[in-house]
Amino acid sequence: MTTLIPHFIDGQRVEGTGEPTQDVFTPATGEVSAQVSLGGAERVAEAVESAQRAFQTWSTINPQRRGRILLEWVRLINENADELARSIAREHGKTVPDAHGDIQRGVEVVEFAAGAPHLLKGEFSSEVGRGVDVHSIRQPLGVVAGITPFNFPAMIPLWKAGCALAAGNTIVLKPSERDPSVPVRLAELAVEAGMPAGAVNVVNGGKDAVDALIEHEAVQAVAFVGSTPIAQSIYAHATSLGKRAQCFGGAKNHLVIMPDADLDQAADGLIGAAFGSAGERCMAISVAVPVGEETADKLVAKLQERMKDLTMGASDQEGADFGPVVTAQAKERIEGLIQAGVDEGADLLVDGRGATVEGHENGFYVGATLFDRVTADMRIYKEEIFGPVLCVLRAKDYEEALRLPSEHEFGNGVSIFTRDGDTARDFSTRVNVGMVGVNVPIPVPIAYYSFGGWKASGFGDLNQYGTDGLKFYTKTKTVTTRWPSGIRSGASFVMPEGS
């Protein structure tokens, strides 16, 4: 009998009796490991009502105490990190060490958010008029929704929940139906850490659950991370109902290699950033842009050399550099795009199609793939492949290398490898992309900055986590105060001028 992954509502696991279910796979073997309940409007209503009740308690606990509870959550997550990482690896396919990173980068945001007493301080101005003071307060929104993708089943729910909870909100998470076990476990640990039942609820499901969450009148804000078409439609849906929304989408991240760059460092950086987690990271580098033919020839040779040493393996295999992709459909789509690259005339130097792992012949594996002489009109350049495929697009000069990521539809991350400070500075200033790395292949900002792509990679005006995260989850109230003695002279009918 397969396990049924439940929802987590009001402090307990709730079986989705009578609800439709969907298979959850172990990508490393291709087997079905469990089924997940797909909740609909009724289940969402149950979760939102529980979150509304929890809000009455949670929002009135002082922020320092809330911070302590968040830190206890961190402690419990760390204590259970091995079990959580194995669960991520089983359902997602990434390797166990990589799954530990997924947890760690989420935990760091919760640690940051535990500083809420400082982060939530308002402003104060005294004597803005005679006897008049003004101050502002940041207040929580109420119940908020977090809709998250499959590729970081711990990190992204923790980004959403950490900032939302620190600010005094309660949250209903709707994680990816492809790897839902870890979000349920994280919610369970939140209750163990001392949060009231209902502060973090998890409803599993697909589009029906998402629509019901957006449309529930008590849900005040919608935070989404996933593919661009869904991000865009959720942003339009939520904002049309007057809700606050931030929706982050897909990516096509470039890494520019200048002729003066350390090519060994650049090649090492590219190998990890393109093939780590089988390329299923929104900050994966999928396009290398060497500047000049000589740089390109040397770089491509170094990449080919290093690719011979890559080990693809099962998620729990010791020494595996990367594992399978998430589903059979993902494998089919990636392999279809590789064929499109061949048909459109790119040079396929390393072909990952048909790669297998011994003993796991039914797993969803795609080997590391390298294309050279890709051009900007090809599908493999324009579309997000979200697999272990690296495209080399040779630029004739720096201006062309700067123009490519700047003009691409997506604008999540970009990086430049160079030894020249002036070039690096010019690039970081002018490139039309949200997150930039200089000699850093995956420039994911640390928890106290903030994460957000531009153009088709992000809809909304505030980034995830950092101070932007706290701003997104609070509304500002401004209070102008004058004590009774200040109006002894009677009513005033003109606008005060401040003195």
Residues at the site binding ligand NAD, with contacts judged by CB under 6 A: 147-152, 174, 176-177, 206-207, 210, 225-227, 230, 248-251, 282, 384, 386, 412, 453, 457
Q: What is the DSSP string of 368-430?
A: -EEEES--TTSHHHHS---SSEEEE--BSSHHHHHHHHHHSSEESEEEEE-S-HHHHHHHHHH
CB of 155 to ligand NAD, least distance (A): 9
- Smaller CB separation from ligand NAD, 46 or 102: 102
163 catalytic, yes or no? Answer: no
Does residue 71 sit in helix, strand or coil?
Answer: helix
- By beta-carbon distance, which residue lies closest to ligand NAD? 226
- The answer to whether the beta carbons of residues 307 and 368 sit under 8 Å apart is yes
- Helix/strand/coil for 11: coil
Match 């982060």 to its residue by tokens: 119
Provide, rounded to whole angstroms, the least separation between the CB of residue 409 and ligand NAD.
12
Nearer to ligand NAD, 11 or 453 (CB): 453
Specify the residue, 209 or 320, whose C-beta has the smaller distance to ligand NAD: 209
**Choice between 208 and 400, CB closer to ligand NAD:** 208
Q: Shortest gap between Cβ of 325 and ligand NAD (angstroms)?
A: 11
Q: Which amino acid is at 149?
A: P
In the set 163, 247, 282, 391, the catalytic residue is 282
Q: Which is nearer to ligand NAD, 207 or 488 (CB)?
A: 207
Decide: 132 and 482 in contact? Cβ < 8 Å.
yes
48, 218 Cβ separation under 8 angstroms: yes
In angstroms, give the least distance from the CB of 284 to ligand NAD: 8
Distance CA 148, CA 150 (A): 7
Residue placing its CB nearer to ligand NAD in the complex, 58 or 472:
472
CA–CA distance, 360 with 363 (Å, rounded to integer): 5
Shortest Å, Cβ 313 to ligand NAD:
23
**Other C-beta atoms within 10 Å of 264: how many?**
12
Burial class (CB in 10 A: 0-12, 13-18, 19+), 478: exposed
Nearest approach, Cβ of 240 to ligand NAD (angstroms)?
Answer: 15
Q: Active-site residue numbers?
A: 282
